[in-house]
Every structure is written in structure tokens, then in C-alpha cells.
């Protein structure tokens, strides 16, 4: 096979050597526009895991790279005069020039032809010249090939909002260092790491508006470097900052990061009657923000995956190879890009977190990508996590007005208390309100007693009853519970009394009105499908049909009907208090009646309740004010909102922050941050903890407590969220359907034994803890050597 690699960066060089190693008969040529020793940038970073992957792919190259690496384990976070250090991270730094030279030398050893100082203008002519059967487009961030065949590759290029500059220094850092400095115009951050015996990379980053206000756009390169030297002087110890981009003038050295995602990675190039695949690789195909150090990692692992696809699928033809490569690699790249996006957005919004104290700020930074979790940190540096858990617990017990207990174990963040008004929750886990469609004429019966009672006994701090309707006309289905008749209050009181008598949990009611989503069948009979008979008229903010051509059409509510619904909410609130509920939530999400006013997708009113966001929130705020007036001042009210409609023209996270501020001003205690279900046109982006960023942003920008909800299914998720200050409570839904004692079982999995179980179940607690401890011991004894350990062994020689 004749292979032509256009671009002599890490991706092109590494793929060339791997394919030559796989089959020495391959004729492989790498074309590079620069000279062999030209480079732009300073050092690159790999994790120990990446090194393990390199060892498996080509051990000679990996050994040479390892010998040239500067290795460190610690991360130092400098913030507000404090330094927070955590260890065990396992990073290696190497100069970009040295890395390229190692790859070039290995290519030459194996017989790869390297052609330098050749600027490729016509890849088709080159493909003819080298009789190519395969073209690798590894021509970098500004790939001409990607641009030329954009119709095939369909790149999505998102230029981000921070400015950053790559610099170097002779100051040697013993840890990967993040330094945050505040100026009169805003925050700057430095990312610094040593990559050889006498040089370190020093990246300075700041939001563009801060960059502009600081006058950096008007400074020469020398003036900008002097500005950075002065700002970060205490970290440089008198060492200068250096630039190796002298070809750029003035502010041009400060760039904005382009996030690149391509829908397709392979273009069929027609060359003299045959089809030659042109394959994007490295930065030409995708980018990942430098804050997680994965750009070079992705490039090298692209090369590994494509070479392995050839080894596995070449007998099936080159099309099968290309299909397998894109299918496998695009998924892994998407995972890295998702983590990189989270990390990038954290640094773009540093100001959001600067009210935090240094320990929590540092933890938030360490876990910003959501790939590094609480348990990951504990494995890396148990002492750091133990100390931080103690710090979190002390603050939590102080906030709850409780003495810090004397325990042999530190208390995981999810098991710390939380106080809201006069209600104290004994932990941060919430059983989400989940529709059960099991009421008879609105009455919660034995099913609800068992369902809610078992989950309260299962250890959660707060248990929500499902959305409880404020009128018969406000039900989703005929089987939904309500609080609009005296017998409803009586039935709920029986359940509330059971929870209080048999558990430490508090119990909450969520009040709602279905609006345009009412008069439907139970979920298992056809979710959102209209009733065949017995339906009732529906109202909404504006006339709408939730399922086009299927649902009953709701008409726009009149002012009189709006006032009646408000009174229904007030009556239900009074009933909820009589039933003894500890907590009330107003349901303003998911396209139900109050939500239909908030979203522009469902509100086209021309009166004072339509138009601007403030007008669209007017009616839900009126309802909130009315229920707050009759709900005891000692008890909290939370508000559930859809923080993102996931539809163009709908509510976006920016809007959600403003909505939260409006409810906070009205007296809300907490925002329950859900999303979607407003329109069937929605295109949500799912994943672990996918709605947590909404809770994070609202909590830290609107300065109101939040509940995170959505794909939170492990204690590790909850601990990471609470510890980082992304939310105050974590609502766990489906795991509680599968396991009523999810909270108690997760405590046992963590090895946390200082938690109350029902007295009747103590024997089960002890047996479970013994069995899990035995499983941990067996797993530790049988654990295979990880890629990190392989790399460590090689480092030892």
C-alpha cells in the first residue's frame, strides 16, 4: 500500500511509523511544510494512561519518549494567596520539538520517507505523484484539506471567548501549576508545567472582554509579555517569559481557541479513475482545549486506532477499515471533547467560582471536566481527599447549626447535612418526584405509602411525592394524585406521618398543573397519548397541541382561568401544610401550565404575560407569591424549571439564570434544575450528570441554592457535585425505582458505616458491609497491571 501523510505533526508521523512497522512493504511518505527543527509552541503533556497506550503501540518509541519526559504527580492551585496541592495525577511533559524529532527518527529507522519544506497546495497532484492508495490529512488546526472538502467533512468550528498566549520560562515548576490573579478588569489564569530540564510552558488566559479592558489588544508583543511578567511575578521568581512566535506581531500572538468537530472524517478522492480515501487525523479532525492537555494525545491515539483498524479489517477492504475507524474513534473523541468542553467552559467562567474559598475552588477546578471524580481523586491522593472532606463537613455542619460529630471516618460530602429555612436534611440525597400514575380519583393510597415510605426508610434526606395536581382539570392522567379535595389531604397526612415516624427523612410535595399535557393515558398505556374517553378541556399560556396532529388542542387561558388556577395552587398549598409536608416545590418545568408561560416556544400572548422574559415569568411569579404567603415561613419552597428547552428559539441556560434570579427575588429558597420536555422538537445532549452544569451555573451566578438532577446514578456523582459546589442537593430518580435503599447501599459501597439504618434492618447492614469489604479485598488482590503501572515500570528502567 502507498500511503501519503500530509502534515508532519504527531498524528502523521506516528501513523506512518505504526503502518511501516505493521508492514515494511508499505511505501509511506510524510510531507511537511516546515523544516525538521521548526516548531511553534513549547511543551506538550501526557497522562500516564496515554503513555501506557504508547507502550502497547510501539515500545521503542515509547521508551525514547519516556527517557525525555519530565514527570510529576502534583497539581498546585494558587488562589487568593493560598496553595492547594493534590497528588497522584501522573503527568509527563516533553518539548514539542523533541517529541517530533523522536517520531522523525523512528520513522527514518523504519524506512518512512520524510519530505520537508513542501507546502502542499494540490493533494490530488501529490496523490498521483506518489501513487497513493491512502491520504492522511494531518495538516493541523487550519487544515486546507478540511476546508477544501468541507461539504464532505461538515466541520463545526466554534471559536471560543477567551484569549490566550503560549509562552515559555526558565522558571522550573515542581508541579503542574494553575495560578489565578485578579486585576481591576477581571481574572487572568496561568497554566504552567515543566517539560524538560530547564524550560516550562507558561500559558496565560483571560476572557476577551478582560483582555480588551486591559489594553492588551493595543500592546506590542514585548509589552504584553511585560504585562504578564508583572502580573505573575510571584510565581516566576525573577525569570522572564519568552515567546517563540516572533513571526506574529502585537496582539496576534493572543489567540482564541477553535473547537472543531467534523461529522465525517473520510473523503473519497477521485485519482485517475480510482477512489483514494482522504482521512482527517489530529487537529484537522477535532480539537480539545489545552486545559486538559489532550490535543497531542488525541492525535497519537487517532494514529493507533487507524493502524489497528487496518490490522483487523484490511482483508474486508479499505472501505471497511474506514467505516470501523470512524465508528470507533469518533465515539472516543467525543468523550474527550465533552470533557474538554466542560474544562474549557470552567476556565472561560472563572469569575463564576471566585466567591468560593480556596479549598472548594481548587476542588471545583480539579473536577471541572467531570472525568476526574471524587473517587478518582481519592485513589490518586487519599490524604488530600480526606482533608477536603473534613473541610466540607465542618462547613456543612456549621451551616446546618449542628455540632460536628466525632467519627472515625471522614463524612462523604453527600452525607453532610443541609439546612433550608428551619428544615434540616440529614444528607444531600433527594428522591426525585416521579409520576407513578397509581392514584384513584386523586387519592394517594397504599401504593404511595409503600413507595414513598420505603424510599424514606432507604436513607434519602428528602423524599418527593410525584407531581401532585391542584385540580382535577390540572391532572396529567386520571391516575395522578391531587390536593384539591379534603380526602386528598387526609390520605397524604397518613403517608407523611409514616415517613416522619419511621425514618430520618423529610418529605416534600411538588404542586403542578398539567396544562396542555393533560388528559393523557398512563405512561405504560401510551405516554403523552390522549385519552380515548373521559378527557377534559385543556388550557395553556397560548393555544397549542403538544403532539402535533395527536394531542388535544389546548386553548389560551383567560385571565379568569389564570386567577382560578392561582387559587387552586393556594388551596393545594394550604392542604399540603395540613398534611404535614416539610417542603413544597412549585413545578414550572417540562411544558406544564406554569412552564408554558415561561418558554417562548409555548407563549405567544400579546398581553402583559407575553413577550419579554420578565413578562413571561410574571404569572408563575404571581402564583409563587400567592403560595409563599400561605406556606409557613419556617418551611422552604423550591421551584423546578426547565433550564434548557433544547430547541432553537427556546429557553437557554442564559435565560435560566435570569429566571432563577426572578424567583430568588420573589422569595424562592432553591431552584430544581431540570430541562426539556417543553417541545417534541427538542434535541437534548444526554450523558452522565448532563443537567448538572445548569445547577452549577444557576447556583454560582444567581447565588441561590440548587438541586442537580438528571443521570446522577452513583455516589461518586453526588459526592463530586456537592463537594465542587455545583449544587446543594442531588436528586436521584431511576436508581431509586430500582433500589428503594439506594442511599444506604451507596454508603456501604463507599465503606461509610456511620449512617443510620432502620433498627429492624441492622443485621442486613452489617452483612452487606462485610460482603462489600470482602469484595474490595478480592478485587485488590486480583487487579491486573494498568497502563499507568506499565509506564511507571518503564520509567524505572
Q: For cell 511537511, what's the residue? A: 32
Q: Are 116 and 32 in contact (CB under 8 A)?
A: yes
715-752 CB burial, b ≥16 within 10 A, e <16 = bbbbbbbbbbbbbbbbbbbebbeeebbbbbbbbbbbeb
Positions of E strands within 80-196: 82-86, 91-95, 113-115, 134-137, 155-169, 176-183, 186-194
Q: How many CB atoms lie within 10 A of CB 63?
A: 15
- 193: helix, strand or coil: strand
Tell me the sheet residues that pair with 182.
187
- 210: its cell numbers: 478582560
- 311: its cell numbers: 490490522
* The residue count for the chain: 797
Q: For cell 391542584, what's the residue? A: 470
Long-range contacts of 657-664 (CB under 8 A, 24+ apart): 657/697, 657/698, 657/701, 657/702, 658/613, 659/598, 659/613, 659/617, 660/698, 660/702, 660/704, 661/702, 661/704, 662/614, 662/617, 662/621, 663/621, 663/624, 663/639, 663/704, 664/702, 664/703, 664/704
- 756: its cell numbers: 443510620
CA 656 to chain centre: 17
Do strands 462-469 and 155-169 pair parallel, antiparallel, or not at all (unpaired)?
unpaired
> E strand or H helix at 720, and its extent?
helix 715-723
- 23: helix, strand or coil: coil
Distances from the Cα of 672 to the Cαs of 15, 430, 586, 627, in angstroms? 48, 11, 10, 17
Positions of E strands within 398-538: 418-420, 423-425, 429-431, 462-469, 506-512
* Cβ neighbours for 508, distance < 8 A, ≥ 6 positions apart: 433, 462, 463, 464, 465, 581, 582, 583, 584, 585, 638
592 is catalytic: yes
Write out 319-330 in H/E/C secondary structure: HHHHHHHHHHHH
- 511: its cell numbers: 404542586
CA separation for the pair 628, 416 (Å, rounded): 28
* Active-site entry in 14, 592, 609, 619: 592
417-438 CB burial, b ≥16 within 10 A, e <16 = bbbbeebbbbbbbbbbbbebbb
Write out 679-708 in H/E/C secondary structure: CCCCCCCCCCCCCHHHHHHHHHHHCCEEEE
CA separation for the pair 523, 494 (Å, rounded): 26
- 422: helix, strand or coil: coil
Distances from the Cα of 16 to the Cαs of 46, 99, 273, 316, 588, in angstroms? 21, 15, 25, 21, 57
CA separation for the pair 780, 579 (Å, rounded): 50
Do strands 155-169 and 241-242 pair parallel, antiparallel, or not at all (unpaired)?
antiparallel
Closest by CA to 54, choosing from 121, 123, 103, is 103
Number of H helices, E strands in the chain: 28, 29
Tell me the sheet residues that pair with 588.
641
Catalytic residue positions?
592
Amino acid at each position: 500500500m502507498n500511503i501519503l501523510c500530509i502534515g508532519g505533526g504527531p498524528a502523521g508521523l506516528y501513523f506512518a511509523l505504526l503502518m511501516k512497522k505493521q508492514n515494511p512493504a508499505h511505501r509511506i511518505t510524510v510531507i511537511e511544510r516546515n523544516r525538521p527543527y521548526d516548531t511553534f509552541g513549547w511543551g506538550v503533556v501526557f497522562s500516564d494512561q496515554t503513555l501506557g497506550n504508547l507502550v502497547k503501540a510501539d515500545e521503542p518509541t515509547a521508551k525514547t519518549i519516556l527517557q525525555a519526559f519530565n514527570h510529576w504527580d502534583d497539581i498546585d492551585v494558587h488562589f487568593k494567596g493560598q496553595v492547594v496541592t493534590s497528588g497522584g495525577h501522573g503527568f509527563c511533559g516533553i518539548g514539542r520539538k523533541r517529541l517530533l524529532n523522536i517520531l522523525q527518527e523512528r520513522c527514518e529507522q523504519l524506512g518512512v520517507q520524510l519530505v520537508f519544506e513542501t507546502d502542499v497546495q494540490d493533494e490530488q497532484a501529490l496523490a498521483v505523484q506518489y501513487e497513493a492508495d491512502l491520504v492522511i490529512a494531518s495538516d493541523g488546526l487550519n487544515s486546507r484539506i478540511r476546508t477544501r472538502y468541507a461539504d464532505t467533512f461538515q466541520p463545526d468550528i466554534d471559536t471560543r471567548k477567551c484569549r490566550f498566549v503560549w509562552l515559555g520560562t526558565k522558571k522550573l515548576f515542581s508541579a503542574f501549576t494553575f495560578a489565578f490573579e485578579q486585576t481591576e478588569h477581571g481574572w487572568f489564569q496561568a497554566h504552567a508545567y515543566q517539560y524538560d530540564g530547564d524550560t516550562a510552558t507558561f500559558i496565560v488566559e483571560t476572557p476577551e472582554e478582560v483582555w480588551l479592558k486591559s489594553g492588551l489588544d493595543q500592546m506590542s508583543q514585548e509589552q504584553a509579555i511585560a504585562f504578564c511578567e508583572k502580573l505573575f511575578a510571584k510565581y516566576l521568581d525573577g525569570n522572564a517569559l519568552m515567546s517563540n512566535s516572533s513571526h506574529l506581531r502585537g496582539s496576534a500572538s493572543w489567540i482564541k481557541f477553535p473547537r472543531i468537530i467534523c461529522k465525517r472524517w473520510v473523503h473519497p478522492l477521485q485519482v485517475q479513475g480510482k477512489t483514494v480515501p482522504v482521512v482527517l487525523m489530529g487537529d484537522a479532525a477535532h480539537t480539545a482545549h489545552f486545559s486538559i492537555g489532550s490535543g497531542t494525545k488525541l492525535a497519537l491515539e487517532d494514529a493507533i486506532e487507524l493502524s489497528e483498524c487496518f490490522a483487523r479489517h484490511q482483508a474486508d477492504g479499505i472501505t471497511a477499515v474506514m467505516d470501523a475507524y470512524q465508528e470507533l474513534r469518533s465515539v472516543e473523541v467525543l468523550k474527550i471533547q465533552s470533557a474538554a468542553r466542560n474544562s474549557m467552559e470552567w476556565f472561560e467562567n472563572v469569575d463564576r467560582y471566585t466567591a468560593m474559598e480556596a479549598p472548594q475552588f481548587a476542588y471545583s477546578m480539579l473536577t471541572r471536566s467531570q472525568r476526574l471524580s471524587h473517587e478518582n481523586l481519592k485513589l490518586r491522593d487519599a490524604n488530600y481527599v480526606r482533608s477536603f472532606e473534613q473541610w466540607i463537613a465542618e462547613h456543612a455542619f456549621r451551616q446546618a447549626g449542628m455540632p460536628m460529630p466525632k467519627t472515625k471516618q471522614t463524612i462523604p460530602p453527600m452525607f453532610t447535612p443541609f439546612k433550608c429555612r428551619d428544615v434540616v436534611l440529614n444528607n444531600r440525597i433527594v428522591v426525585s418526584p416521579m409520576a407513578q400514575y397509581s392514584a384513584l380519583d386523586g387519592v394517594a393510597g397504599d401504593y404511595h405509602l409503600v413507595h414513598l415510605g420505603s424510599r424514606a426508610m432507604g436513607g434519602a434526606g428528602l423524599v418527593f411525592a410525584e407531581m401532585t395536581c391542584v385540580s382535577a382539570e390540572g391532572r396529567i392522567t386520571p391516575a395522578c394524585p391531587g390536593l384539591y379535595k379534603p380526602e386528598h389531604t387526609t390520605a397524604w397526612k397518613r403517608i407523611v406521618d409514616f415517613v416522619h415516624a419511621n425514618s430520618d427523612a423529610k418529605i416534600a410535595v411538588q404542586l403542578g398543573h398539567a396544562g396542555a399535557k393533560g388528559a393523557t393515558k398512563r405512561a405504560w398505556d401510551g405516554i403523552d397519548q390522549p385519552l380515548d374517553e373521559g378527557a377534559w378541556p385543556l388550557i395553556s399560556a397560548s393555544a397549542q397541541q403538544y403532539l402535533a396532529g395527536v394531542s388535544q388542542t389546548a386553548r389560551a387561558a383567560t385571565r379568569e382561568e389564570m386567577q382560578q388556577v392561582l387559587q387552586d395552587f393556594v388551596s393545594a398549598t394550604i392542604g399540603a401544610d395540613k398534611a404535614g409536608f416539610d417542603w413544597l416545590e412549585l413545578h414550572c418545568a417540562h411544558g406544564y401550565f406554569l412552564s408554558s408561560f415561561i418558554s417562548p416556544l409555548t407563549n405567544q400572548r400579546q398581553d402583559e404575560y407575553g413577550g419579554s422574559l420578565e413578562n413571561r415569568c410574571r404569572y408563575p411569579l404571581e402564583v409563587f407569591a400567592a403560595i409563599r404567603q400561605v406556606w409557613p415561613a419556617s418551611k422552604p419552597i423550591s421551584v423546578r424549571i426547565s433550564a434548557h428547552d433544547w430547541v432553537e428559539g427556546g429557553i437557554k441556560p442564559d435565560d435560566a439564570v435570569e429566571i432563577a434570579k426572578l424567583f430568588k427575588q420573589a422569595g424562592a429558597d432553591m431552584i430544581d434544575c431540570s430541562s426539556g420536555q417543553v417541545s417534541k422538537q427538542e434535541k437534548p445532549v444526554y450523558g452522565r450528570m448532563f443537567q448538572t452544569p445548569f445547577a452549577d451555573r444557576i447556583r454560582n451566578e444567581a447565588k441561590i441554592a440548587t438541586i442537580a438532577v438528571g443521570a446522577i446514578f452513583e455516589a461518586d456523582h453526588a459526592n463530586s457535585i456537592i463537594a465542587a459546589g455545583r449544587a446543594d442537593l442531588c436528586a436521584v430518580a431511576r436508581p431509586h425505582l430500582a433500589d428503594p435503599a439506594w442511599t444506604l447501599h451507596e454508603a456501604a459501597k463507599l465503606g461509610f458505616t456511620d449512617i443510620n439504618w432502620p433498627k429492624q434492618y441492622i443485621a442486613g447492614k452489617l452483612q452487606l458491609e462485610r460482603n462489600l469489604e470482602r469484595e474490595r479485598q478480592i478485587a485488590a488482590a486480583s487487579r491486573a497491571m494498568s497502563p499507568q503501572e506499565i509506564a511507571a515500570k518503564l520509567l524505572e528502567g
